[in-house]
Amino acid sequence: MPTLVQTPARGSARQQPQAATVFPYDSGDLRRFRELQQLAYTCAERVGAWLEPGVTERQASARLGRELAAAGVQDFFHVHFAWFGDRTAFRHFHTPLQFFPSRRRLEEGMPYILDCAPVIDGYTADIGYAGRVGASPVWDRIDRDLREYRDLIVVEARRRTPFNEIYARVDALIARHGYDNRHRVYPGRVIGHQVTRTTARGPAGVSVLGFGIRTLQTLGREFLGERRYGRSPLWADGRASRHAPTPGLWAVEPHVAFRDVGLKFEELLVVTDDDAYWLDDDLPHVRRWQRAADTSSDIATDVATDVAVEAR
């Protein structure tokens, strides 16, 4: 619950509300959020394995919806998205309608991104799953670099670096890599947004402008509540994000691109009163990075062994 500073003496500055910094979830809540995030990634992986040249974004999005429904999902934070080719980099996106799945067909060598946000019993996940069909050296290079963004974000959140400054440091890393910032194309230029356990009672499975009815009801309450403290449930680079990370869960999605190849991950970041950590490390992109690191380590070991043998 919000708290107030002590009543000032007569003639001093007006009383200002201050938000209590109390983490709102217990271990049982975190387990439910984690299970739902795993479910969302599992469904996205199944669709990724099913994709092949000729499939359209709309077909991929519909398949993702069927996978989620079969897993018991009846509501969602936002509609399911699928982007192929240069649309993964949001090239020529100027209106919100351009984010919706199109008739773009997948081709050999194309990247793709699947994005879904299921809700079960009020618990919400919001994930981004990236892949490619066939070989793409550019995609592989971006994917290797993307791990640095995940590390950077959690380190800065632990330091209580203001949200807008973390955004700026991600921007600086993108520039050093020679990529483009594409999360700035999202509505509100967001790199993330707060996720809560919804308690709204609107109709489940019904969307308006891409967002579930219950999502809009919840977001409305969050905007009003956070505005009172000069904050926002959206994480961007503006004035409303000039504050230390707010305790709670944040869906974070650094999205970068090189020319027509876009890549991102999206997962839940836990921000407590004095710490921050990713909700789960057993995720497809994290496992992919670990396999690559293990392979590099094995190669380095083999080379060192060969050198030692030759030196005898």
Domain ranges of the chain: 18-293
Supply the mean pLDDT for the chain.
85
User: What counts of helices (H) and strands (E) characterise the chain?
Assistant: 6, 18
Q: What is the mean pLDDT of residues 132-151?
A: 97
Cα(85)–Cα(263) distance, integer angstroms: 11
Q: Which residue in 149, 188, 155, 117 sits closest to 271, CA to CA?
A: 155
Question: Helix, strand, or coil here: 71?
Answer: coil
Q: What is the pLDDT of residue 15?
A: 41
Q: What is the mean pLDDT of residues 172-191?
A: 97
Residue 54 has pLDDT above 60, yes or no: yes
Q: What is the pLDDT of residue 215?
A: 53
Residue 300 has pLDDT above 60, yes or no: no
Q: What is the pLDDT of residues 74-93, one digit of tens each?
A: 889 889 999 999 999 999 99
pTM of the entire structure?
A: 0.83
Q: What is the mean pLDDT of residues 69-76?
A: 93
Share of the chain above pLDDT 90, in %: 71
Neighbours of 149 (CB within 10 A): 22
Those residues whose C-beta lies under 8 Å from the C-beta of residue 305, and which sit 6 or more positions away, are: none
Q: What is the mean pLDDT of residues 80-109?
A: 95
Q: What is the pLDDT of residues 12-27, one digit of tens each?
A: 333 444 555 689 999 9
Residue 170 has pLDDT above 90, yes or no: yes
CATH of domain 18-293: 3.90.230.10
178 exposure class (CB count in 10 Å sphere: 0-12, 13-18, 19+): exposed
Residue 8 has pLDDT above 60, yes or no: no
Cα(71)–Cα(52) distance, integer angstroms: 23
Q: Which residue in 142, 125, 114 sits closest to 288, CA to CA?
A: 142
Q: What is the pLDDT of residues 117-132, one digit of tens each?
A: 999 998 999 999 999 9
